[in-house]
Amino acid sequence: MPRKPTLAQVAALAGVSKMTASRALRDAGDVSASARDKVQAAAQTLGYVGDRVATALSAKTTNLIGVVVPSLSNIVFAQVLAGISDGIADSGLQPVFGITGYDSDTEAALLRDMLSWRPAGLIVTGLDQPDATRALLRQAGVPVVQIMDIDGDPVDGCVGISHDAAGADMARALLAAGRRRIGYVGAHLAHDTRAAKRLAGFRAALADAGTALVASRLTGAPSSVASGRDLTATLLSHHPDLDCIYYSNDDMAIGGLFHCQSAGLDVPGQLMIAGFNGLDLVESLPVGIATTVTPRHEIGRRAAQMIAAAAPAVSLARVSLTPRIVLPGQTPRNRPLGGTRS
């Protein structure tokens, strides 16, 4: 079985040295037109494809950029990945994805593994890694961008939104819309620290207004439409007088809406439903729900650009983006810049 052709074979066929062949194929200088043509012809006939592993070993770095996200079952991260692809367009970088499943041990192992491939940079979700992981990232010697969240202390650069402020802003918006008996339905708060921050901000803003959550239902399982539906059913059976429910995200909120539709409740008249993320799906729903539209694509794009632009050992900036709130029956508007608590 014919082994993969190597640069040496291409060079031999072209009648030049390995070095000249290497230069010709990379468009580096110092190669005559005739030599270049011969090398390219030889590479063509042999079907030569370069070996990145060898190049990486020689060049001491790769064109890989490691991307670590907690999950892909939430479409949000898929859109972040799309943004990353956009951000590195024609920079020659190549993203490599890893999924942690919201588990910090998995995350640490994944990062270690990625670092052993000498990536050109790392994009990591969230700011709340354990200390050992933070140390790993700091020592790595590659640019690190943490995404989604800015409420905390980044290892290097970060780009995202303030979830604390997002929760507080939603609380104020719902109060301003006249809602007073507000409940909460959430999932996975022990692992999804950003959802927890939103809830904290939401609660704080309610307290500032002299009120509080009437009731809440939580599950330790990952968020899903199904659990949103179930938890809403039990919450409403105990507290039928709620006029608003805030959910940990849109998936849960949509599940809540589906329960209300099945139960014949008037949404948003009788009960307002508020989620988080601003999924495309939300715009197509037959009835309006409130949500916070987050710039997911933009987050990915900016993060990737930061990596692409990072000269080695340059420290990166903190980029804060602003989400906007949408309430039912209302054209999207810009979010008023509420006070940031953190």
Partner DNA sequence: AATGGTACCGATACCGGTATCGATACCAAT
Partner DNA sequence: ATTGGTATCGATACCGGTATCGGTACCATT
Return the bridge partners of 293, or none. Answer: 277, 324
Residues numbered 45 to 104 that lie near DNA (CB under 7 A) are: 48, 50-51, 54-55, 57-60
Segment contacting a copy of itself by CB under 8 A, of 206-214, 237-245, 276-284, 319-327: 276-284
- Rounded-to-integer distance, Cα 117 and Cα 37, Å: 34
Contact letters for DNA, residues 208-247 (x by CB under 7 A): ----------------------------------------
Most distant CA pair in the chain: distance in Å? 86
Nearest 10 degrees: CA dihedral of 44, 45, 47, 48?
Answer: -70
- Per-residue buried b or exposed e for 292-315, using 16+ beta carbons within 10 Å of the residue's own CB: bbbbbbbbbbbbbbbbbebeeeee
Q: Could you say whether residue 35 binds DNA (CB under 7 A)? A: yes
Q: Could you say whether residue 28 binds DNA (CB under 7 A)? A: yes
H or E element in which residue 299 lies: helix 296-309
Residues 6+ apart with CB under 8 A from 192: 70, 102, 223, 248
**Beta carbon nearer to a copy of itself, 76 or 327:** 76
Segment contacting DNA by CB under 7 A, of 30-38, 121-129, 140-148, 184-192: 30-38
Count H helices, E strands: the chain?
13, 12
Token readout for 239 is 């507290």
For DNA, the binding residue among 7, 200, 205, 245 (CB under 7 A) is 7
Shortest separation between residue 62's beta carbon and DNA, angstroms: 12
Q: Could you say whether residue 8 binds DNA (CB under 7 A)? A: yes
Token readout for 131 is 């200390």
Residues 6+ apart with CB under 8 A from 291: 250, 253, 274, 275, 276, 277, 278, 279, 282, 325, 326
Contact letters for a copy of itself, residues 99-128 (x by CB under 8 A): x------------xx-xxxx----------
Q: Could you say whether residue 294 binds DNA (CB under 7 A)? A: no
- The gap between the terminal CA atoms of the chain, to the nearest Å, is 63
Report the residue count for the chain: 342
For a copy of itself, the binding residue among 311, 313, 315, 337 (CB under 8 A) is 313
Segment contacting a copy of itself by CB under 8 A, of 24-32, 70-78, 153-161, 198-206: 70-78
Q: Could you say whether residue 33 binds DNA (CB under 7 A)? A: yes
Exposed, middle or buried: residue 69 (CB in 10 Å: 0-12, 13-18, 19+)?
A: buried
Shortest separation between residue 58's beta carbon and a copy of itself, angstroms: 9
Q: Could you say whether residue 32 binds DNA (CB under 7 A)? A: yes
Question: Which residues bind to a copy of itself, rule: CB under 8 A?
Answer: 1, 4, 47, 49-54, 56-57, 62, 72-73, 75, 78-79, 81-82, 85, 94, 96-97, 99, 112-113, 115-118, 139, 141, 224-226, 228-229, 254-255, 258-259, 261-262, 280-281, 283-286, 313
Question: Which residues bind to DNA, rule: CB under 7 A?
Answer: 3-4, 6-8, 16-20, 22, 25-26, 28-35, 48, 50-51, 54-55, 57-60
